[in-house]
Structures are given as C-alpha cells and as structure tokens.
Amino acid sequence: MKSFKFTYGDKQYELTDNNCSYILNDEEQPVEGIELAKILEMLEQHEDVYFDVEYYDEPCQNCLAGKGSKNKHFKFLEYHFYIFSKKGRYVVSSISKDYADTSFNKLLKQRLVDNSYIASLIVCVECGEYSIEIEQCEV
C-alpha cells in the first residue's frame, strides 16, 4: 500500500488509501490513467511538498471538527500540483521526476501534451482525512 507522510506543526500526517474520502476527477474532461497510488508515489518521490493552511465554509465530513462550537470557517491543509495529459490520458505531472528539466510550454510545443489540470490535496488538520480534486485549467 502506497502512502505519503508529512509533518505540519507538531503533528504527523499519513495519506493512504484508507483515509482518502474521495477523488474528484474533472467532470467534463476527466484524466484517464491517474489513480490514488500514482499520486501518493509522486508525492513520496518529490522533495518539495509543502502544505498551506486554507479555510472552508464547511467542516470535515469525517470528524466534523469545529462544528459544535459553531465556527464559520474550518481549517484544512492544502497542496497543489499540475497534471498534464494528451488526448485525455495522463502523461506527466509537475511533481514527477520526468518533469524536472522541462515545462508545460515545452511539452505543448513538442506536442507531448495538450491539456493541463490542477490537483488539490485537501487534508483535515484534526483527523487527517483527505480528498483530491482534479480540475481542468484553461490552456
């Protein structure tokens, strides 16, 4: 089983297939060939994965942290990276080893890719449950 571990503040988090609540792949043009195990492997192999704090209007659906105290904003950790595809199939991501010496524009000019997506990892700071949302970017 693939996993990715990181520390934020004093707390250690581990992302696995067991605590992933969902993966939302773009509804209009989903990326084929990208699955949770591949994403976790890319995260594990990339050295510069830093999560930022983001606030949402809704609490974590797993633990509902903060809902009882009637908070209006709920704290999560987020990390973003890009996924590039050709004819709807995954080719490479911005955190892949193969992407180190190139750019989206170079790949586009070489006709190796034709579309880009942003992948957002959203982690509950309380329970560690997370989700992945993949959305098409305008090219």
The two tokens of residue 52 are: 């930022």
CA proximity to 84, closest of 75, 76, 93: 93
pLDDT digits (tens, 9 = 90+) for 53-96: 999 998 888 887 756 667 788 999 999 999 999 999 999 999 99
pLDDT digits (tens, 9 = 90+) for 90-131: 999 999 988 888 888 899 899 999 999 999 999 999 999 999
pLDDT given for residue 67 in this prediction: 67
Question: What are the strands, taking DSSP E only, across the chain?
Answer: 4-8, 11-15, 20-25, 52-56, 74-86, 89-93, 115-124, 130-136
CA proximity to 131, closest of 57, 60, 72: 60
Q: Are 83 and 93 in contact (CB under 8 A)?
A: yes
pLDDT digits (tens, 9 = 90+) for 13-31: 999 999 999 999 999 999 9
Which pTM was predicted? 0.90
